[in-house]
């Protein structure tokens, strides 16, 4: 949406185009070649349901026209769905978009041409206020495996509208050839244009041609792979984005100008330290850190409007207003914290950060939308500390994960913008500690479980249940615990503490009854050593991997399970401890026996965020070994 | 969700201060009694007022008042009205009354408009949606008015929903002399008030439980027929009137029928296969096109159509062959078709009933014997993964309206025997001295068991199909690696789906003290998930009848000796039959088992024994053999 608004804000140029655009020569329909007819599969994407043989997109901004041509071969019955075409467009003001000159046909496997003479429908996808998203839809006839589909159309939009362009080239089917061309609007120096790109093959970038178009031609574009534990999709897909900007487009100049602009805005909001001197004095502690804790505690009590569904509150004018009204939106609370800290005489600043949950930041992209997060940086005794007072229940000194371990830009008047990685987090700032005290009763384990979530693990769960009523909170926490155990587990929440405060861990106590864990080996009884992981499976089941492995944040799991055995049973043998050293991944477990009680301890530490795919095999082996170690049997024999 | 976000983005600040109408105030004046735990919102009042003209034209005014009791209840703070080319939306308004008493009003222009569904290439069915700002303690009210010329003089009123309803009312203003026939579904009959009107109070929310039947089968509804007593035959006749002319043969259709059947060993099967596989599912529904098929010749020319188009083309081609066939109207939610209330609105799908000689029914499962029409084979040409001779899982043990030139009649759609959906797994494996398990596995699936895998595998490319197998193995083997994955007959629903692969699993044998534990089962889980039986309100919906067998052989290194085998297990309930047995002969640990699920649904009183059966099966699957 923010990109859309950027485009809207730039629609001010005068001078209507007087030329009608046509299709390019290579967008003309043409017969199938013998090679195309013979194509049954794509060597680098075997089993693909269809393949884009040719995709030509020509964006002519001076004429407000984009022409698109697709040539798709259907390879399987599943691939016939690509014969249903939907071209969306914004029809309302200011885009006044249209889709025109739609033509299509089917080339049969024997070369016969089936012209498209069906109806083209105009569908309302969404209409809201002045915003109208519509779609031209049509379906090609006589499509079967072996058919080649050809269709083309032109998107048109209002003259004089500077419209950003996004080429998402990587698709769910392979693309054998794609040519894209973009002719930017000549703004006579009023506006700049620039492009960014992602995951293009080496040596391939859009190049400026003598015709003043940016052209890009690619072959054999692979299918986009959907994988778990992968970085955000927008950071992985082959894509090119073109932007218009009224400001600087050279990155270093852009960020300097942006920094200055933000500085002006921020400092204006923070105001002079005297404005909050009285309030800050009331929060003063014996040490700077104690003062900070008091200020943080105060701001955390403010009403956080960003986390309310239906709020209609206006933005605040300055930090003093936030403090006076004890409420504000997320960034307003962060700024109020900084203002109070400054009023207390501390070295505090707002830090712009690039959240990494949607895409990864690049300083070479002159787009301020990347840095839409704010945290607070306070330097005490020469050391920088980072705070996230705008996130409800964020622990003191911890920021929500998407704003951690990311480039941050400290906004300061006249200073050169420097991107530093800020708010680094360690595994001990995201700990899940599960304890169980169980008795073996027949073939069922019964007892209590205490789960303690610390730091980031507590924060993420608190945010998940933030604003929910007690019944919904209970269900959410019980459901999570139920997933630790095999089918049939009974889990009843008995107590929760720390669900609404930043200052304590989140502690969940449960009564559990666990059938489905004990098994038999003839006359012997078998228990898995880890009741919490008895149901686990390797999350990396595939032997192959395309993308890097991405964890939201480093974390640690610590389990301690005590099982009291009936007097009639004893442990056949205490298994040796397990230790797995995977570098940034560490695992160990140990079983101890004391009388008729068996205690199992386990820890897993993931001290990584992004792991290159070249390390996938050892990582997969690590998890396989861990699952095996967790599910190692304890054999119980009759005394 | 997208709609909600859009609404917030576009309409923030569009609220107008206003006063609430009297009907809202009246609903708010009634105290809300204590509600069950986890009740997030409650409908204070929901009134549908119909005014029916002698022409049948119908005005509908719906007024609904909801109180938000908990944050999750804000999901009910919306107003929605459906309309299409035949139903005009006259007004749509909403009010939000804050706990402070402040009232805000939203108008139709504040609404989002969108297609009412997304699976069609095009439909004229649309909706308008108002996202109403609210907080806990708010009351939200909506009112809309539509005018329509309905296709049939009947109303299907659903008064039960996911939250409690304190008061629901249906009232009608009828032309002089008109009569009416009410039918209650999933609710005891309630006497009409003058008007007529029907009013219900304190309607409990539909209990949401795992493995419950579809909402259409359990929700409380009232059907009313206006000034007529329509039978299923009338409904069938209405559809027949729409569809009959669409079956007219064209020369290309006749030629195609001849081409497909010339020399075919089974001409009916050949035509069915064509309609199923060569006609692509594409829905274009405008006006009466929601009910009336496109002409068969047009469907053939395009090679696409929706369910009724496919069924109509198949019928037209069968007619060229001299084979009698009929449309059958069905619903894809089992139990949604209530026999007591004949209406076309209860259907959402069309299949075919093909008359076949009785002797040809051998080996076919989707067969019904009709006293007049003889042996009918039911066939769903829309399901591309269901073999000829079977019904898709969602239609088995259900009901359909058989449409004939004489009208129509409700028929029972058969549930297939477990043998019709089978999984046969054979594994030949070797355990080495290091505890690594290696070998090959063959899995043969038929019927609905195959359909399920076909549907998932067809959507994947070759690399992802291997990942699919690896993911399935990972649930059973910690150190699994799958290779040499081959799949046979993926695109041929009439052939067995055969998946073969090589597997290796390091650390499969577990050494404990002087013992080596080996789990004979190795792969696959047969039982389904258990659910709490106490307090259960709904029946349990199974994954469907099936017959599954495993035959696993593990060659054990000669250096170890058998100490103990798992005990054989037999589980017998009215719904589940399970046997397993482990043997050790000539160095081979062999595990054989047979699992049969016999039903689609288990009533509440059978759930406890079902849970017990699944628990015993799961215990058997965990059991180990002991070697020393």
Task: Give the C-alpha separation, B14 to A44, whole Å.
Answer: 53
Give the pLDDT confidence score for residue A13 in this predicted structure. 36
- A188 φ/ψ sector (left φ>0, alpha ψ -120 to 50, else beta): left
Residue contacts between A and B (CB atoms, under 8 Å): 224
Identify the helix (H) or strand (E) that includes residue B409.
strand B407-412
Give the CA distances from residue A463 to residues A393, B13, B374, in Å, rounded to whole numbers and listed in that order.
8, 27, 63
3-state secondary structure B40-104: CEEEEEEEEEEEECCCCCEEEEEEEEEEECCHHHHHHCEEEEEEECCEEEEEEEEEEECCCCCEE
Task: Give the C-alpha separation, B552 to B531, whole Å.
Answer: 30
**Mean of pLDDT over chain B:** 94
Q: Which chain B residue is nearest to residue A476, measuring alpha carbons? A: B38
Task: Give the C-alpha separation, B6 to B405, whole Å.
Answer: 49
Tell which residue, A92, A88, A83, has the closest CA to residue A125: A88
Radius of gyration from C-alpha coordinates of chain B: 29
Which one-letter DSSP state was computed for residue B274?
Answer: I
Pairing of β A50-60 and β A175-183: parallel
**Tokens at B175, concatenated:** 């032309």
A-facing residues of B in 340-379 (CB < 8 A) are none
Q: Which of A81, A123, A129 sits opposite B11 (nearest CB)?
A: A129
Find the distance separating the first CA and the last CA of chain A, reported in whole Å.
69
Q: Is the pLDDT score of A362 beyond 80?
A: yes
Give the pLDDT confidence score for residue B285 in this predicted structure. 86
A435 DSSP β-pair partners:
A450, A560
Q: Is the pLDDT score of B529 beyond 70?
A: yes
The alpha helices in A398-530, defined as continuous H runs, are 456-464, 470-482
A-facing residues of B in 93-152 (CB < 8 A) are 109-115, 121-122, 126, 133-136
Q: pLDDT tier at A185 (50, 70, 90 boundaries)?
A: confident
**Mean of pLDDT over chain A:** 91
User: How many Å lie between the alpha carbon of A598 and the closest alpha carbon of chain B?
Assistant: 16
Pairing of β B422-431 and β B546-555: parallel
A-facing residues of B in 277-306 (CB < 8 A) are 277-278, 280, 282, 284, 301-304
Report whether A161 contacts A7 (CB < 8 A): yes
Query: What interhelical angle do A470-482 and A456-464 show, nearest 10?
Result: 130
Strand blocks (E) in B186-292: 197-203, 221-226, 280-281, 284-285
**Tokens at A216, concatenated:** 């890009």
Q: pLDDT tier at A11 (50, 70, 90 boundaries)?
A: very low
Give the CA distances from residue A121 to residues A88, A105, A140, A272, in Å, rounded to whole numbers and listed in that order.
12, 17, 13, 60
Q: Which of A76, A469, A523 sits opposite B70 (nearest CB)?
A: A469
Partner-chain contact A628 B563, CB within 8 Å: no
Q: Is the pLDDT score of B548 beyond 80?
A: yes
Give the pLDDT confidence score for residue B17 in this predicted structure. 60
Partner-chain contact B121 A137, CB within 8 Å: yes
Q: pLDDT tier at B15 (50, 70, 90 boundaries)?
A: low
Give the pLDDT confidence score for residue A21 in this predicted structure. 67
Residue percentage of chain B with pLDDT more than 70: 97
Mutate to test the interface with A, among B38, B622, B628 (most CBs of A within 10 A): B622
Give the pLDDT confidence score for residue A471 in this predicted structure. 87
Give the pLDDT confidence score for residue B611 in this predicted structure. 96
Q: pLDDT tier at A20 (50, 70, 90 boundaries)?
A: low
Q: pLDDT tier at A592 (50, 70, 90 boundaries)?
A: very high
Tell which residue, B373, B370, B382, B328, has the closest CA to residue B353: B328
Q: Which of B72, B111, B303 sits opposite A142 (nearest CB)?
A: B303
Tell which residue, B486, B481, B484, B483, has the closest CA to residue B457: B486
Q: Which of A119, A123, A521 sits opposite B517 (nearest CB)?
A: A521
Partner-chain contact A538 B115, CB within 8 Å: no
Mutate to test the interface with A, among B463, B531, B607, B610 (most CBs of A within 10 A): B463
Q: Which of A471, A486, A628 sits opposite B37 (nearest CB)?
A: A471
Task: Give the C-alpha separation, B408 to B401, whole Å.
Answer: 6
Give the pLDDT confidence score for residue A248 in this predicted structure. 72
Query: Average pLDDT, stretch B104-123?
Result: 86
Give the CA distances from residue A108 to residues A174, B206, B623, in Å, rounded to whole numbers and listed in that order.
21, 52, 57
User: How many Å lie between the alpha carbon of B333 and the closest alpha carbon of chain A?
Assistant: 25
Query: Average pLDDT, stretch B187-200?
Result: 96
Q: Is the pLDDT score of B553 beyond 90?
A: yes
Q: Which of B303, B507, B510 sits opposite A143 (nearest CB)?
A: B303
User: How many Å lie between the alpha carbon of A350 and the closest alpha carbon of chain B?
Assistant: 27
Task: Write out chain A residues lying below 8 Å of B3, CB-based.
Answer: 126
Report whether A449 contacts A436 (CB < 8 A): yes
What b-and-e string marks burial along B491-524, b requiring 16 or more CB atoms within 10 Å of the CB? bebeebbbbbbebbbbbbbbebeebbbbbbbbbb
Task: Give the C-alpha separation, B476 to B474, whole Å.
Answer: 5
User: How many Å lie between the alpha carbon of B277 and the closest alpha carbon of chain A?
Assistant: 8
Surface-to-core class of residue B234, CB atoms within 10 Å of its CB (0-12 exposed, 13-18 middle, 19+ buried): middle
Give the count of beta carbons closer than 10 Å to the beta carbon of residue A413.
Answer: 10
User: How many Å lie between the alpha carbon of A43 and the closest alpha carbon of chain B?
Assistant: 11
User: Which three-class secondary structure state does DSSP give residue B563?
Assistant: strand
Task: Give the C-alpha separation, A241 to B515, whole Å.
Answer: 63
Give the pLDDT confidence score for residue A18 in this predicted structure. 41
Identify the helix (H) or strand (E) that includes residue A527.
strand A524-528
Task: Write out chain B residues lying below 8 Å of A631, CB-based.
Answer: 478
- Predicted confidence (pLDDT) per residue in A108-139, tens digit: 999 999 999 999 999 888 888 778 899 999 99
Give the pLDDT confidence score for residue A437 in this predicted structure. 98
Q: Is the pLDDT score of A381 beyond 90?
A: yes
Task: Give the C-alpha separation, B161 to A238, whole Å.
Answer: 46
Q: Is the pLDDT score of B276 beyond 70?
A: yes
Pairing of β B280-281 and β B304-305: parallel
Q: How far is CA B228 from the centre of its chain?
A: 32
Contacting residues for B265 by C-beta, under 8 A, at least 6 apart = none
Task: Give the C-alpha separation, B524 to B500, whole Å.
Answer: 14
Q: Which chain A residue is nearest to residue B626, measuring alpha carbons? A: A521
- Predicted confidence (pLDDT) per residue in A138-167, tens digit: 999 999 999 999 999 999 998 878 888 999
Mutate to test the interface with B, among A469, A529, A593 (most CBs of B within 10 A): A469
Q: Which chain A residue is nearest to residue B455, measuring alpha carbons? A: A78
- Predicted confidence (pLDDT) per residue in B381-422, tens digit: 999 999 999 999 999 999 999 999 999 999 999 999 999 999
B430 DSSP β-pair partners:
B438, B555
Give the pLDDT confidence score for residue A469 in this predicted structure. 86
Mutate to test the interface with A, among B474, B518, B610, B612 (most CBs of A within 10 A): B474
Widest Cα–Cα separation across chain B = 94
**Tokens at A136, concatenated:** 């031209």
User: How many Å lie between the alpha carbon of B37 and the closest alpha carbon of chain A?
Assistant: 7
User: How many Å lie between the alpha carbon of A249 and the closest alpha carbon of chain B?
Assistant: 29
Partner-chain contact A521 B623, CB within 8 Å: yes
Output phi, psi for A617, to 5 deg. -60, -50
Give the pLDDT confidence score for residue A6 in this predicted structure. 36
Q: pLDDT tier at B16 (50, 70, 90 boundaries)?
A: low
User: Which three-class secondary structure state does DSSP give residue B460?
Assistant: coil
- Predicted confidence (pLDDT) per residue in B562-584, tens digit: 999 999 999 999 999 999 999 99
Give the pLDDT confidence score for residue B471 in this predicted structure. 93
Q: Choose between B117 and B556: higher pLDDT.
A: B556
């Amino acid at each position: 949406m923010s990109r859309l608004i950027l485009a809207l804000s730039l629609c001010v140029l005068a001078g209507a185009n007087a030329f009608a655009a046509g299709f390019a020569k290579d967008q003309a329909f043409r017969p199938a070649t013998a090679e195309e007819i013979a194509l049954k599969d794509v060597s680098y994407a075997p089993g693909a349901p269809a393949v884009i043989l040719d995709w030509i997109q020509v964006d002519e901004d001076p004429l407000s026209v984009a022409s698109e041509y697709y040539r798709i071969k259907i390879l399987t019955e599943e691939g016939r769905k690509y014969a249903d075409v939907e071209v969306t467009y914004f029809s309302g003001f200011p885009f006044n978009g249209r889709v025109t000159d739609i033509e299509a046909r089917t080339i049969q496997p024997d070369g016969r041409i089936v012209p498209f003479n069906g109806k083209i429908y105009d569908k309302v996808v969404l209409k809201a206020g002045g915003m109208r998203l519509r779609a031209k839809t049509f379906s090609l006839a006589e499509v079967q495996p072996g058919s080649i589909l050809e269709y083309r159309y032109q998107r048109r939009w209002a003259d004089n509208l500077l419209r950003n362009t996004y080429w998402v080239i990587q698709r769910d089917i392979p693309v054998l050839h794609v040519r894209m061309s973009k002719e930017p609007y000549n703004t006579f120096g009023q506006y700049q244009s620039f492009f960014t790109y992602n995951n293009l093959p080496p040596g391939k970038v859009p190049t400026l041609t003598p015709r003043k178009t940016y052209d890009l031609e690619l072959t054999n574009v692979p299918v986009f792979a959907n994988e778990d534990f992968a970085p955000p999709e927008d950071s992985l897909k082959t894509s090119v984005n073109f932007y218009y900007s009224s400001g600087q487009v050279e990155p270093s100049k852009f960020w300097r100008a942006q920094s200055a602009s933000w500085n002006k805005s921020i400092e204006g909001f923070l105001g002079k330290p005297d404005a909050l001197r009285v309030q800050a004095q009331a929060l003063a502690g014996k040490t700077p850190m104690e003062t900070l804790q008091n200020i943080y505690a105060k701001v955390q009590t403010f009403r956080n409007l960003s986390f309310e569904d239906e709020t209609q509150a206006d933005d605040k004018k300055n930090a003093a207003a936030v403090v006076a009204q004890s409420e504000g939106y997320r960034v307003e609370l962060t700024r109020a914290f900084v203002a109070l800290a400054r009023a207390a005489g501390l070295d505090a600043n707002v830090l712009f950060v690039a959240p990494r949950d949607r895409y990864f930041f690049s300083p070479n992209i002159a787009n301020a939308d990347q840095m839409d997060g704010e945290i607070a940086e306070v330097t005490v005794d020469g050391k920088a500390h980072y705070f996230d007072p705008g996130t409800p229940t964020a622990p003191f000194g911890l920021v929500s994960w998407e704003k951690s371990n990311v480039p941050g830009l400290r906004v300061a008047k006249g200073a050169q913008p420097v991107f530093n990685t800020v708010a680094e987090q360690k595994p001990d700032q995201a700990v899940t500690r599960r304890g169980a005290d169980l008795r073996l009763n027949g073939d069922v384990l019964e007892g209590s479980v205490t789960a303690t979530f610390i730091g980031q693990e507590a924060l993420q769960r608190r945010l998940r249940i933030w604003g929910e009523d007690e019944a919904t909170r209970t269900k959410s926490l019980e459901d999570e615990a139920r997933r630790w155990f095999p089918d049939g587990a009974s889990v009843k929440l008995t107590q929760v503490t720390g669900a609404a405060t930043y200052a304590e861990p989140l502690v969940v106590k449960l009564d559990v009854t666990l059938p489905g864990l004990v098994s038999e080996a003839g006359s012997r009884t078998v228990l898995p050593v880890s009741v919490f992981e008895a149901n686990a499976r390797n999350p990396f089941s595939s032997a192959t991997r395309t993308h890097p492995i991405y964890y939201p944040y480093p974390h640690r799991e610590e389990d301690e399970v005590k099982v009291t055995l009936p007097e009639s049973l004893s442990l056949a043998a205490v298994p040796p401890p397990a230790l797995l050293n995977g570098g940034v991944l560490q695992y160990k477990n140990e079983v101890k026996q004391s009388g008729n009680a068996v205690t199992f301890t386990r820890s897993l530490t993931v001290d990584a965020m992004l792991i290159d795919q070249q390390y996938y095999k050892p990582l997969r082996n690590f998890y396989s070994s861990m699952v095996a170690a967790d599910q190692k049997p304890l054999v119980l024999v009759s005394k | 969700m997208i709609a909600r976000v859009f609404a917030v983005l576009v309409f923030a600040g569009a609220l107008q201060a206003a006063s609430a109408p009297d009907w809202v105030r009246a609903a708010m004046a009634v105290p809300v009694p204590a509600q069950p735990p986890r009740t997030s919102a409650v409908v204070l009042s929901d009134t549908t007022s119909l005014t029916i003209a002698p022409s049948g034209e119908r005005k509908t005014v719906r007024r609904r008042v909801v109180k938000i009791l908990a944050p999750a209840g804000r999901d009910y703070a919306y107003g929605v009205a459906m309309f299409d080319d035949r139903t005009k939306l006259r007004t749509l308004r909403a009010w939000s009354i804050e706990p402070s008493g402040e009232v805000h009003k939203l108008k139709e222009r504040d609404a989002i408009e969108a297609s009412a569904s997304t699976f069609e290439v095009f439909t004229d069915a649309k909706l308008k949606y108002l996202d109403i700002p609210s907080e806990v303690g708010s009351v939200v009210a909506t009112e809309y008015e539509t005018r329509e010329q309905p296709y049939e003089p009947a109303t299907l009123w659903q008064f039960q929903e996911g939250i409690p309803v304190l008061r629901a009312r249906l009232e009608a203003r009828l032309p002089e002399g008109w009569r009416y026939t009410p039918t209650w579904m999933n609710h005891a009959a309630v006497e009409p008030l003058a008007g007529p009107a029907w009013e219900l109070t304190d309607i409990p929310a539909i209990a949401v439980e795992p493995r419950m039947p579809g909402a259409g089968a359990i929700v409380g509804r009232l059907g009313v027929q206006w000034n007529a007593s329509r039978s299923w035959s009338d409904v069938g006749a209405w559809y027949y009137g729409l569809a009959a002319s669409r079956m007219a043969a064209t020369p290309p259709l006749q030629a195609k029928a001849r081409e497909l059947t010339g020399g075919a060993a089974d001409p009916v099967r050949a035509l069915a296969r064509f309609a199923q596989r060569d006609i692509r599912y594409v829905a274009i529904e405008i006006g009466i096109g929601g009910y009336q098929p496109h002409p068969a010749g047009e469907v053939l020319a395009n090679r696409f159509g929706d369910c009724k188009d496919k069924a109509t083309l198949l019928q037209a081609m069968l007619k060229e062959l001299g084979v009698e066939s009929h449309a059958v109207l069905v619903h894809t939610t089992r139990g949604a078709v209530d026999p007591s209330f004949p209406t076309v609105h209860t259907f959402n799908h069309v299949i075919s009933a093909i008359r076949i000689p009785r002797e040809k029914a051998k080996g076919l499962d989707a067969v019904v014997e009709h006293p007049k029409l003889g042996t009918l084979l039911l066939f769903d040409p829309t399901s591309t993964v269901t073999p000829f001779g079977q019904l898709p899982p969602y239609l088995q043990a259900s009901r359909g309206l058989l449409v004939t030139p004489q009208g129509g009649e409700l028929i029972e759609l058969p549930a297939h025997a477990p043998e019709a959906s089978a999984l046969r797994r054979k594994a030949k494996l070797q355990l080495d001295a290091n505890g690594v398990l290696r070998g090959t596995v063959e899995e043969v699936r038929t019927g609905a068991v195959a359909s399920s895998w076909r549907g998932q595998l067809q959507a994947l490319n070759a690399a992802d199909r291997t990942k699919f197998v690896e993911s399935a193995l990972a649930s059973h083997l910690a150190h699994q690696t799958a290779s040499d994955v081959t799949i046979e007959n993926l695109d041929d629903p009439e052939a067995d789906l055969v998946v073969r692969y090589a597997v290796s699993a390091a650390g499969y044998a577990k050494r404990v003290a002087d013992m080596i534990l080996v789990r004979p089962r190795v792969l696959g889980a047969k039982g389904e998930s258990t659910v709490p039986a106490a307090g259960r309100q709904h029946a349990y919906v199974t994954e469907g009848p099936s017959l599954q067998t495993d035959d696993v052989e593990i060659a054990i290194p000669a250096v170890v000796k058998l100490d103990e085998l798992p005990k054989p297990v037999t589980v017998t309930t009215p719904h589940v039959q399970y046997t397993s047995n482990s043997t050790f002969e000539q160095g081979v640990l062999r595990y054989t088992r047979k699992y049969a699920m016999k039903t689609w649904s288990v009533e509440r009183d059978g759930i406890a024994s079902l849970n017990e059966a699944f628990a015993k099966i799961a215990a058997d699957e965990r059991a180990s053999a002991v070697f020393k």
